[in-house]
Structure 1
Amino acid sequence: MRTPAAMIVGIVLGPCGLILNLTSTLAPNWRDVSRIPDKSSDIIQHQGIWDICEETQSIHETTCNIEDSLNYFSQLPVQVSKGLMPSALAVLVLGLVVASLGVRCWTETPHFLLAGLGGLSLFISGLLSLIAISWYNHELYNLPVPSGSTLQVGYCLVLGYLGSCLEIIGGISLTISFSQCYKECKLKKAAANYNYPPAKQQDLATSTTVASSFDNKDFEMYNRTPTPRSYTNALDVLEDERASKYSYRSRPPCDSDL
C-alpha cells in the first residue's frame, strides 16, 4: 500500500526538527551582547547555554571559552535549558527510530501502533524544547549583563522555535495512526465474536487489515471480479467504425451497432 500522507509529513518533519534543535543546542548564540564597556565597539559577545564567544567584526575573528564573570551559567533559565534541550534531543531520536519501524515503507502495510508511539515521542520532544526556548526568551533581558551594553536575540532561539514547531506538527501527524490502529482492533474484535473456525478467523483478520489499508476506490479495484472469458474478444470490433469517423465515405453499421 502507499504510505499515508500523515506518516510522510511526520517522518519528514521529525529529522528537520532534529537538525534545527541540535544546532540550537550546541551553537553559542542564544543572545548577542554588543557595546560592552571597556571593550572595543566592534566586539560582539555571543552567549549560549554551554559557552561564551567573542567576535571581533573588523578582523572576523572569534574567540571562545570566555570567562563567565557575571555568573551567567548559574542562572535558572540557563540551567533548565541545559537539562531540557539534551533531553528533548534524546526523546526525539528515540521517537524517530520507533516511527521508522512503524512506517516501514518497504512492507505492504505499516505498523500503526509503532508509528503512533513514535509521533507521541516527537510531540513530547517538541514540547520540552519549546519550554526551554520560551523560558530563556522570556528571561532574556533579566539575565546578568554588563551595564550599558545592548542585547539582541541570537539565531539559536529562532532555530529552536522553528525546530520545536516542526517536531510538534510531525508528532501530531504521526499520532493520527492511533485512529487507524483502533479501527483495525475493532474490526478484528468484531470478527472474533463470530463462531468461525480458527482458520476462518485468521482469514477474516487478514482481510480486514488489507481492507483498512486501502481507500474506498482502491479497495473496489482490489476486489473487482475479473471479466469472464466468454466476454473477451481479441478482435477490435470498433476498428472499422473509428476509421469511418475520419473519412468522408459512409459505411454500413458494423455488428457492434446492432
Structure 2
Amino acid sequence: MRTPTVMTLGMVFSPCGLLLNMVSTLAPGWRLASGFLDKPVDTVLYQGLWDMCLEQSSRERQCGQQDEWGYFTSEPVLAARGLMPTSLAVTGLGLLLATLGVRCWRDEPQFALAGLSGAVLFVAGLFSLIPVSWYTHFLGDREVLPGPASPVTLQVSYCLVLGYLGSCLLLLGGFSLALSFAPWCEERCRRRRKAPPAGPRRSSVSTVHVDWPEPALTPAIKYYSGGQHLPPPAERSAAAKPRVGFPMPRPQPRAYTNPVDVLDGEQDAGTASQSSSSHSTRPCHSSLPCDSDL
C-alpha cells in the first residue's frame, strides 16, 4: 500500500527540524552585540551556548573570546546547554522508530510504532522550544543574561531563528506521525467487536427439532432424485435414512347395517323362520351389504 500522507509529512519535517536544531545548538549565534565604543564600528560579538566570536568586516572571525560578564553561568544558557542536546538525542530516537514503523520493508506500515515515534518527536520539539523561548524572553535583560553595558545593543541572532524553525518542524512532524494511532485504534476496536463472548450464550427459548417423515412421491419421480436414477426401495441398502416419527392410530372400519328389516311380518315355519329371524335381528359387522339388501 502507499505510505499515508501523515507519515510522509512526518518523515519530511522531522529530519529538517533535526538539522536546524543541530546548527542552532552548535553555532555561536544566539545573541548579537554591536556598537562597541572602544572597537571599530563594524565590530560585532556573537554569543552562543558554547563559545563567543568577535567578527569584523575587514578581518576573520576570532572565536574563543573571554567571558568577562559571566554569560555562560546564567540560567537560560545552562538550561539551553542541557535541553538542546537532549532534544537532538530524542529526535534521533524518534526518527529511528519512525523508520522502522513507517515502512521497514513491509507491505503495510506499523501504525502503532509510527504513532509512538510521532509522540517522541513531539516531545523532542518541546525540549528545543523551551530553551529557545526562555532565551528570547530575557534577551535584552543584562541581569539575567549578562552582556556588554550600554550603549552596546543586543539583538537576536540567526541561531534563535533556526531554533524556532527546527522546533516547529519537529512539533508538526511529530503530530503528523502521531495521527498514525487512528488506524491502529480503529483496528483494535473492530477486533473487540468481532471477538466472541466470554461464555456460551444460553438461549431463553427451548427449540425442539422434529424430523418429519418424507412425503410419498408419485411413481414417476419416486426413483429420480438429484439428476440420478435411484434403485427401487427393495434394492436399496439397509443403511438408508431411517424414518423418524410415531404411528398414528387408524380408525376401525365402519360396519354396514341395514336399518330396515325386510322380513318383518313373514311367518315361516321351521328352520326357515328361525333363520330369517336370526338374520333380521343379528347385526351385520361386514363392510359389505347384508344379504337382506340383496
- TM superposition score normalised by structure 1: 0.73
- Match 1:144 to one of 143, 146, 162: 146
What is the correspondence of 1:52-131 to structure 2 with a 5 Å cutoff? 52-59=52-59, 61-104=60-103, 106-131=105-130
1:189 Cα offset (Å): 2.5
2:170 pairs, out of 148, 167, 183, with 167
- 1:65-124 CA deviation, whole Å, 9 max, x = no partner? 100010000000000000110011111100000011000163211001110010001100
Q: Secondary structure at the match of 2:99?
A: helix
Indicate the structure with greater helix content. 1
Aligned partner letter, 1:114: L
**Partner Cα separation in structure 1 for residue 71 and residue 58 of structure 2:** 26
- Give a deviation string over 1:14-46, Cα, whole Å, max 9, x none: 000000000000000001111123222221100
User: 3-state DSSP class of the match of 1:53?
Assistant: strand
1:1-258 paired onto structure 2 within 5 Å: 1-59=1-59, 61-104=60-103, 106-142=105-141, 143-147=145-149, 148-193=151-196
Secondary structure (helix, strand or coil) at the match of 1:140 reads coil
Give secondary structure in 2 for the equivalent of 1:67. Answer: coil
Once residues 138 and 44 of structure 2 are traced to their aligned partners in structure 1, the CA distance between those partners, rounded to angstroms, is 20
1:25–1:156 contact (8 Å) kept in structure 2: yes
Amino acid at match of 1:179: A
- What CA distance in whole angstroms lies between the structure 2 residues aligned with 1:151 and 1:18? 27
Structure 1 residue runs of 5 or longer lacking an equivalent are 196-258
1:153 deviates by: 0.5
Q: Distance in 1 between matches of 2:90 and 2:23?
A: 16
Superposed CA deviations along residues 182-220 of structure 1, whole A, max 9, x for unmatched, are 11112223333279xxxxxxxxxxxxxxxxxxxxxxxxx
- Which protein shows a greater Rg? 2
Deviating more after overlay: 6-15 vs 97-106: 97-106
Q: Distance in 1 between matches of 2:118 and 2:196?
A: 32
C-alpha displacement of 1:56: 1.2
Aligned length: 194
Q: Is the 8 A contact 1:37 1:146 kept in 2?
A: no
SS of 1:29's equivalent in the other structure is: coil
Aligned residues: percent identity?
52
Output the CA distance in 2 between the equivalents of 1:145 and 1:74: 12
Counterpart Cα distance in 2 of 1:63 and 1:13: 34
TM-score of the pair, normalised by structure 2: 0.64
Structure 1: which 4+ aligned runs deviate by more than 6 Å? none
Q: CA RMSD in A?
A: 1.3
Q: Is the 8 A contact 1:32 1:47 kept in 2?
A: yes
SS in 1 for 2:140: helix
Structure 2 CA distance, aligned partners of 1:192 and 1:104? 29
The one-letter code of the counterpart of 1:141 is G
Counterpart Cα distance in 2 of 1:173 and 1:22: 22
Could you say if the C-alpha distance between residues 105 and 9 of structure 1 is closer, same or farther in structure 2, counting changes exceeding 3 Å? Answer: farther
Whose RCO is larger (CA < 8 A, sep 6+)?
A: 1
Cα distance in 1 for partners of 2:43, 2:89 equals 35
